[in-house]
């Protein structure tokens, strides 16, 4: 059963694109950072565009960090972090100085290529994923699914059990994670057409 989703408004991110995608699958959603809306949300989507420190400062300025932690860690409501959103789940990033939310045992690092690899940063465009464990987020996904990426940093998980998919760009990096009720994608499902729509549909149906 699809449930009401809160798209967390931290002042940056493709909020309208995400909400439009949810409309296409008939899933009600609101865009808000109001504490009352966070408390009543059945699921949360955390988008992120910009720099690591700027989004962490935004969460601090909105005074919602503790409330988010109660909802996600204590009350176990499902949350989906997108792009910079997944990086915010880690302990910190090479991009900034501030600590992350620390919800997964991971850090965020910049792409670093050795040898004669003439690869551009950011990693931008369509790419595939390799599934590391069965999970409802990728349930009934097309075998040739491709997703849209725009990022210079990626997460490095200390616990391999948290890794949902990897993607190859110079080397294999973590492109999605799942730990209990915490989900994240490095790619942008809201820009990934029917494949991204399937990600959102599966997320809305999580219990």
Q: Read off the pLDDT of residues 150-173 as tens digits, 9 standing for 90 and up.
A: 999 999 999 999 999 999 999 999
What is the residue whose two structure tokens read 């931008």?
124
> What's the CA gap between 118 and 136, in Å, rounded?
36
Candidate list 83, 151, 154, 157, residue with the active-site label:
83
Say how many domains are in the chain: 1
Residues of the chain above pLDDT 70, percent: 98
Q: How confident is the model at residue 175 (pLDDT cuts 50, 70, 90)?
A: very high
Q: How confident is the model at residue 3 (pLDDT cuts 50, 70, 90)?
A: low
> Residue 10 has what DSSP assignment?
S
Nearest to 168 by CA among 113, 115, 88: 113
> Is 190 an annotated catalytic residue?
yes
Candidate list 123, 151, 154, 188, residue with the active-site label:
188
The two tokens of residue 64 are 């919602």
The two tokens of residue 30 are 């609101």
> Is 83 an annotated catalytic residue?
yes
Query: Does the structure show a pLDDT above 70 at 39?
Result: yes
User: At a CB cut-off of 8 Å and minimum separation 6, what does 70 contact?
Assistant: none
pLDDT at 207: 65
Residue 191 is part of which domain span?
Answer: 5-204
**How does the average pLDDT of the chain come out, rounded?**
95
pLDDT at 1: 42
Please name every residue paired with 172 in a beta bridge, in sequence order, or none if there are none: 168
Model confidence over 52-66: pLDDT tens digits? 999 999 999 999 999
**What is the CATH classification number for the domain harbouring 29?**
3.40.50.880
Please indicate, yes or no, whether the overall pTM of this predicted structure exceeds 0.85.
yes
Q: How confident is the model at residue 189 (pLDDT cuts 50, 70, 90)?
A: very high
Cα pseudo-dihedral 74, 47, 184, 95, rounded to 10: -100
Contact (CB, 8 A) for 100 and 108: yes
pLDDT at 14: 78
Query: Does the structure show a pLDDT above 90 at 12?
Result: no
Burial class (CB in 10 A: 0-12, 13-18, 19+), 78: buried
The two tokens of residue 65 are 């960090």
The alpha carbon dihedral of 53, 54, 55, 61 has a sign of positive
> Is 188 an annotated catalytic residue?
yes
Candidate list 27, 154, 157, 190, residue with the active-site label:
190
């Amino acid at each position: 059963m699809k449930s009401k989703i809160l798209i967390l408004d931290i002042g940056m991110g493709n909020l309208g694109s995400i909400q439009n995608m949810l409309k296409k699958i008939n899933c009600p959603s609101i865009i808000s950072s109001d504490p009352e809306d966070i408390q009543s949300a059945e699921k949360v989507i955390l988008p992120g565009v910009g720099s690591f420190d700027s989004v962490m400062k935004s969460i601090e300025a909105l005074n919602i960090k503790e409330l988010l932690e109660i909802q996600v860690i204590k009350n176990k409501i499902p949350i989906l972090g997108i792009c910079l959103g997944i990086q915010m789940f880690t302990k910190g990033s090479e991009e900034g100085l501030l600590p992350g939310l620390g919800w997964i045992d991971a850090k965020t690092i910049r792409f670093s290529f050795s040898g004669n690899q003439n690869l551009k940063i950011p990693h931008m465009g369509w790419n595939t994923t390799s599934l590391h464990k069965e999970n409802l987020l990728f349930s009934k996904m097309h075998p040739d699914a491709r997703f849209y990426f725009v990022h210079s940093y990626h997460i490095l998980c200390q616990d391999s059990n948290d890794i949902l998919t990897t993607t190859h760009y110079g080397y294999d990096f973590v492109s999605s994670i799942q730990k209990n009720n915490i989900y994240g994608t490095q790619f942008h499902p809201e820009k990934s057409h029917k494949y991204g729509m399937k990600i959102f549909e599966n997320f809305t149906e999580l219990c």
